[in-house]
Amino acid sequence: MSKLWGGRFTKETNKLVEEQTASISFDQKLANEDIQGSIAHVNMLATTGIITEDEGATITKGLKAVQNKLANGELTFSVEHEDIHMNIEKFLIDEIGPVGGKLHTGRSRNDQVATDMHLYLKNHTEDIIELVKGTQKAILNQASEHIDTILPGYTHLQRAQPISFSHHILTYFWMLQRDKERLQDSLKRVSGSPLGAGALAGTTFPLDRKQVADELGFDYVYPNSIDAVSDRDFILEFMSAASIMMMHISRLAEEMVIWSSQEFQFIELDDSFCTGSSIMPQKKNPDVPELLRAKTGRVYGNLMGLLTVLKGLPLAYNKDMQEDKEGMFDTVETLEGSLMMLAPMIDTMMVKVDNMKQAVSEDYSNATDIADYLVTKGMPFRQSHEVIGKIVLYGIDNNKYLLDLTMEEYKSFSELFEDDIYRVLAPEEVVANRRSYGGTSQSQVKEQLKLAKGLM
């Protein structure tokens, strides 16, 4: 089989080299983008008169025929043709004869592959933004249901202060909001058209790069042909945004694992998102959140991999850059798959309101509130902190929570205590009193929910 670039060579490529250097096993994922880019290129070649209108129409028809055959599984890619670009060109020439050879006029695989990557990532970034919105909606559903559900809030995984469950889960809404904004912002840069840059220096043909960019839905044309073929920042940006998002997903997944444990019993994941054990009949394992947590690793790995591939490359295109693809596909697929599972898992998870309520009644997480109470009665905060520390110690020694102590016991620590202390210490009251902007009080959470819903 003769190579499309075989003219300069007198020997066949070593078989092993052919297999190891070919990218067709993975870049076939770009088939549709490659054909789309070629159709835009050929249309432009025809309108600018670089090829005739008839030739343009024949090539476009041929490309669509190839696309159909590929969709129907009628064509087989070959390693001899190395990558998706040359495989498709070969199919085209088989389809329409030598005129197919005019497609590559004024183009190089260097600007072609960059164009394919931009198109692929633009489409998938838009899809991922929609998936993020779906996950945010699932969070909003749970948050709307649980404004009055109170659970212990933690710092250092030690009970800290009672909070509204709605407030807690909304934290993830805001993380995803920033993730979404990062992706939206990256679209500005993924929307540049490299096509027409040629191998690196531009071409001798009077191309209309703007026409191609418009047809492909790109917002601008790379102003520097060398930059056009050597830039992979848009992939790094996507991978960075994806890494941060996976870190967020992993934190939520971790909470789901902890909360669904026997020790916490704060939530129960739907059966459809759990699996059993082959030996222990009682087990219901939170496999999905565990895997989400773990998949973060490959997304970080892909980012580090590509940063490392690019760091020492001289301008312009280098074969090293072929290594940008598998990590990008894997990141896209991992993120899409993760978000697709996450949204329904949040939606279907059962929040165990009574267990959360029980938990806040069995701890000292209202201690800050007595400290604040003494402050409102005139004691400096430092001094009241010290007094309450002693009260907590007394409670621990005597097996009593703060609501169980008698007025006499309170008075023995400070004369400032009065009957109203019991109202201040009730968990609902503790939450309701945190009315500062962005705080956990039911009234603030309602404002926050309104703000969040307004962003959807």
| Using rule CB under 6 A, residue 33 touches ligand ARG | no
Instruction: Output the smallest distance, CB 324 to ligand ARG, in A.
Output: 7
Kindly tell me which of 34 and 369 has the beta carbon lying closer to ligand ARG: 34
Cα–Cα distance for residue pair 432/424, rounded to 1 Å:
10
Kindly tell me which of 168 and 325 has the beta carbon lying closer to ligand ARG: 325
Selected catalytic residue, list 156, 272, 278, 436 = 156
Which region among 33-41, 51-59, 108-116, 242-250 touches ligand ARG (by CB under 6 A)? 108-116
**What residues between 281 and 320 interact with ligand ARG by CB under 6 A?**
317, 319
Q: Token pair of 392, please?
A: 């907590």
| Using rule CB under 6 A, residue 110 touches ligand ARG | yes
Q: Token pair of 390, please?
A: 């002693």
| Using rule CB under 6 A, residue 23 touches ligand ARG | yes
**What residues between 60 and 89 interact with ligand ARG by CB under 6 A?**
83
Figure out which of the listed residues 87, 149, 322, 448 binds ligand ARG, where binding follows CB under 6 A.
Answer: 322
Kindly tell me which of 85 and 159 has the beta carbon lying closer to ligand ARG: 85
Kindly tell me which of 321 and 402 has the beta carbon lying closer to ligand ARG: 321
Q: Verify whether residue 277 is a known catalytic residue.
A: yes
Instruction: Output the smallest distance, CB 197 to ligand ARG, in A.
Output: 12
| Using rule CB under 6 A, residue 34 touches ligand ARG | no
| Using rule CB under 6 A, residue 338 touches ligand ARG | no
* Beta strand pairing call for 220-221 and 192-193: parallel
Figure out which of the listed residues 27, 34, 231, 255 binds ligand ARG, where binding follows CB under 6 A.
Answer: 27
Figure out which of the listed residues 176, 183, 321, 345 binds ligand ARG, where binding follows CB under 6 A.
Answer: 321
Unique residue bearing structure tokens 């026997």: 262
Which region among 32-40, 106-114, 326-334, 378-386 touches ligand ARG (by CB under 6 A)? 106-114
Binding mask 362-391 for ligand ARG (x = CB under 6 A): ------------------------------
Q: Verify whether residue 412 is a known catalytic residue.
A: no
**Cβ contacts of residue 136 below 8 Å, gap of 6+?**
173, 176, 177, 180, 452, 456
Instruction: Output the smallest distance, CB 21 to ligand ARG, in A.
Output: 9
Cα–Cα distance for residue pair 233/190, rounded to 1 Å:
9
Instruction: Output the smallest distance, CB 220 to ligand ARG, in A.
Output: 23
| Using rule CB under 6 A, residue 113 touches ligand ARG | yes
Kindly tell me which of 288 and 328 has the beta carbon lying closer to ligand ARG: 328
Figure out which of the listed residues 41, 81, 109, 167 binds ligand ARG, where binding follows CB under 6 A.
Answer: 109
Secondary structure (H, E, C), the chain: CCCCCHHHCCCCCCHHHHHHHCCHHHHHHHHHHHHHHHHHHHHHHHHCCCCCHHHHHHHHHHHHHHHHHHHCCCCCCCHHHCCHHHHHHHHHHHHHCHHHHHCCCCCCHHHHHHHHHHHHHHHHHHHHHHHHHHHHHHHHHHHHHCCCCEEEEEECCEEEEEEEHHHHHHHHHHHHHHHHHHHHHHHHHHCEECCCCCCCCCCCCCCCHHHHHHHHCCCEECCCHHHHHHCCHHHHHHHHHHHHHHHHHHHHHHHHHHHCCCCCCCEECCHHHCECCCCCCCCCECHHHHHHHHHHHHHHHHHHHHHHHHCCCCCCCCHHHHHHHHHHHHHHHHHHHHHHHHHHHHHHCEECHHHHHHHHHCCCCCHHHHHHHHHHCCCCHHHHHHHHHHHHHHHHHCCCCHHHCCHHHHHHHCCCCCCCHHHHHCHHHHHHCCCCCCCCCHHHHHHHHHHHHHCC
Question: How crowded is the C-beta side of 371, counted as CA atoms within 13 Å?
Answer: 18
Cα–Cα distance for residue pair 392/401, rounded to 1 Å:
8
Residue 113: other Cβ atoms inside 10 A: 26
Instruction: Output the smallest distance, CB 3 to ligand ARG, in A.
Output: 12
Cα–Cα distance for residue pair 405/402, rounded to 1 Å:
6
Instruction: Output the smallest distance, CB 115 to ligand ARG, in A.
Output: 11
Instruction: Output the smallest distance, CB 7 to ligand ARG, in A.
Output: 15
| Using rule CB under 6 A, residue 43 touches ligand ARG | no
Give the binding-site size for ligand ARG (rule: CB under 6 A).
10
Selected catalytic residue, list 2, 25, 261, 277 = 277
Q: Which residues are catalytic?
A: 156, 277
Contacts with ligand ARG, residue ranges (CB under 6 A): 23, 27, 83, 109-110, 113, 317, 319, 321-322
